[in-house]
Structure 1
């Protein structure tokens, strides 16, 4: 990390033990704030950041409006771009490799075969949910580790929802049975299980279960930021080999298995495909159970959220010019 530059989530920046310093007027003591993955910024978080910025400071938002939006309300980045009231810079840097080429095509509304001489992109047909589950577990535990030398932490499975025969619950149960079978003596978890929980709105934390604290009835999990303790009865705590694309937003892995269920329905759209496919850095396997519906979802026009922010921003800018 560059000297003088720190990375925090918006919530961590504004409050808590890691919060940024404030000046004598209560504003954030900084001159520049850059928000990455800004397509995940909801209206409430954006308002809190703007209100906390000192006069004369700069706020830079960086993101892709074509990806899945925030868990909270609004579509701040898309509305700012649509209002055309502030400077904007469009990146012309092409995405790298076969995965990047495919992601670029999806972002433009096209699903086409790409040249992948090293099997960087693989499509695995699945004719029913049972076959989709079998192929997914096989890819995660055998094919991808053997072909790319990827360890368990290097591969993630993404699907459309928690429920259903190809949802996170069913797929995580199948993966656990294969890679870490056990009685689930710690509230359904065993040491070595991958776990994921919602630490706040739009913030997902992943880790590996190490032990249980019997005194507090909590799980001790190892994460990238160290050890954390999570109550075993936390309703948002789930097994974490398989995530939804919404949970994976803002993160990436060397290898991704994207499961496209035949019953995805309205959950399957261009934003979901764009987000799921772009989480992969080196390899992408697509377990294709939706048939022609996948290409149709990518080709269909995106469904923007209904908000008034862009209109309000344009009106505010017009009023300022008249004043």
Structure 2
């Protein structure tokens, strides 16, 4: 905040107006110099005076510009300037003609009467209807301006202030002043810390009851976001006290208050959680236990243990298949290269031959397509299987899906809410097979479904442990297993796995440059297409070796000189750009994690046409925000996908994100080549640092 600077001036040109209030302006400052101002705020017009606070920066294409964090407008006092201001169309009903009449009639007193319909009717040509309209428009504009000044004056940035005003409207000042905790925390884009900062600015006490409750809820939500569904009462009180700067005893009483009002639920041993998550895990356990019995139709299914192409199952694989077929629910688990895909293929074939209706699904679009390719049968995302729409899921307990068997792959990615939606939508007779690798990254959302189910001992589990792929062309599998067991990976000459070490003294930028060379020139020399077959994976978004920096650098390689690039809403798009969808979009049939490539970008229409495998999708201004560059991605975003070649840069500056599960999962994304690039100490840290498996959940309690 100390680096923020001030900029004051008059808008001489409105160069661009985008969605959600994004604007690019030319401002003439006090020195009569024209500068570029970028802001998210209420609509602005030429002639308006502005005061902005923000930072100077240099855009790679548009040069020096001032990016405003806060911005307020100043309404001119002098009649001539005010007339020009009104003539710009700021107030509905006033154009150049009427602005001139108003100035001529009221002079410097014009500003005082713009909201007075009776005074306005004294002007020639302004009747009652027009006077009412002008006064109402002026008063609405004043209310908006006052609200934005109020919000920004108490610490909100310009974009957030605009968002809050859009949601609260004319009552913004009254509602926020009365209680920012109850008001702001219900608005999109505002979390506890922002609401708390505004409350402190407004003079709310540190021990205000609503502050303590909101702070504790924030702690609970933060734990859920980290994957937990439970916490101890002492942990919540301690973390809440640290967050709010109050004593632990006071926060312990708040925990008791939320328990008494059933905003938290007590499980056992001092463990508490959100009722929605705890009850969800209880329901999941009930559904699984009801199916964890021998299947009556098992003897009617003939197990050949042989695929149509002549492949024969090993004894271990055959035993796994028989375990699955014997029960109404079972888990098939194992690491890379042990034959899970083969067993899944035979399982689906066997059940299909028995005349059963199968539904195959996975958490992501790419994972479901891989499942379909492996089994030769249709597969979908879990969301599509359940008929997800704007109002929820079409299929549920009252309207179950039509299937005799559901097989779900990549189950480690599935969180509690989604798994709950799946199990309650199963008809009573439907069998469920859960497939996944419990050592891969857990779900982004709350819960640890796959690991909890396997660890419970209550659900049949078929484990595959024998590595089926060995030799120089299988070192990806071998080294991934080594990492999973806590052993450092080894670079093997003339194999599909390599480690390129960068000296410890080398700065992160050096690792970035080496990774770029490996992902482009080296891969090209080995016969890989750097754009379509190589994926860079990194632990973080920020920093010199994060996704943002790597994407910019890789984009410069693949789209030299901004070839064909256009700017839409402040972002550049160019034909050939590699992109990833970040949210499920059922209207366009694209899903979170789907990779595509820009075909064309139209700045005038504000549209981007992208190709996703075998189909083209048009993105309009309201959906472009769901796309990100994907030359480099995080390991989490790549989970459920496979790529011909993967490059993984690791640096010491990513220290707290370097973790075994992350590295193991990232290694297993590569099919034909994987290259680790980075500091030896960073690689060692990733191998030996284990945190991702530690989630406190209630599912094991209900499965006992």
How would you bin the TM-score normalised by the shorter chain?
A: 0.7 to 0.9
Call closer, same or farther: CA 1:287–1:228 in 2, change over 3 Å: same
Match of 2:408 in 1: 35
Give the whole-Å Cα distance in 2 for the aligned partners of 1:59 and 1:308: 21
> Pick from 117, 130, 134: which aligns with 2:513?
134
Match of 1:200 in 2: 584
> Pick from 188, 191, 202: which aligns with 2:575?
191
Q: Mean alpha-carbon deviation: is it higher for 292-301 or for 158-167? A: 292-301
> Pick from 416, 430, 438: which aligns with 1:65?
438
1:109 aligns with 2:486: yes
Q: Describe the SS at the equivalent of 2:380.
A: coil
Give the whole-Å Cα distance in 2 for the aligned partners of 1:288 and 1:274: 16
Match of 1:84 in 2: 457
Displacement of 1:40: 0.3
Give the whole-Å Cα distance in 1 for the aligned partners of 2:609 and 2:685: 44
CA contact (8 A) 1:256 1:283 kept: yes
Residue deviations 1:97-150, cap 9 Å, x none? 111100011111111315x34242221223221111211211121101212344
1:253 aligns with 2:629: no
Call closer, same or farther: CA 1:4–1:270 in 2, change over 3 Å: closer
1:230 aligns with 2:619: yes
1:124 aligns with 2:513: no
CA contact (8 A) 2:397 2:425 kept: no
Give the whole-Å Cα distance in 1 for the aligned partners of 2:396 and 2:501: 58
Give the whole-Å Cα distance in 2 for the aligned partners of 1:48 and 1:62: 18
> Pick from 658, 682, 693: which aligns with 1:268?
658
Displacement of 1:217: 2.1
Call closer, same or farther: CA 1:23–1:83 in 2, change over 3 Å: closer
Call closer, same or farther: CA 1:70–1:214 in 2, change over 3 Å: same
Call closer, same or farther: CA 1:199–1:21 in 2, change over 3 Å: closer
Q: Comparing both structures, which one devotes a greater share of its residues to helix?
A: 2
Call closer, same or farther: CA 1:218–1:70 in 2, change over 3 Å: farther
Displacement of 1:28: 0.6
Displacement of 1:25: 5.5
* TM-score, normalised with respect to structure 2: 0.42
Larger Rg: 2
Give the whole-Å Cα distance in 1 for the aligned partners of 2:593 and 2:528: 26
Structure 2 unmatched runs, 5+ = 1-371, 586-590
Call closer, same or farther: CA 1:5–1:263 in 2, change over 3 Å: same
CA contact (8 A) 1:160 1:261 kept: no
CA contact (8 A) 2:416 2:447 kept: yes
Match of 2:537 in 1: 158
Question: Once superposed, what is the RMSD of the aligned Cα atoms?
Answer: 2.7
Residue deviations 1:249-294, cap 9 Å, x none? 00111110011122112211101100111111111111113x3242
CA contact (8 A) 1:157 1:258 kept: yes
Give the whole-Å Cα distance in 1 for the aligned partners of 2:535 and 2:417: 30
Q: Mean alpha-carbon deviation: is it higher for 192-201 or for 94-103? A: 192-201
Displacement of 1:84: 1.5
Displacement of 1:23: 11
Displacement of 1:186: 4.0
Structure 1 unmatched runs, 5+ = 315-323
Task: Between the two structures, name the one with larger relative contact order (CA 8 Å, sep ≥ 6).
Answer: 1
Q: May I ask how many residue pairs the two structures share in their alignment?
A: 311
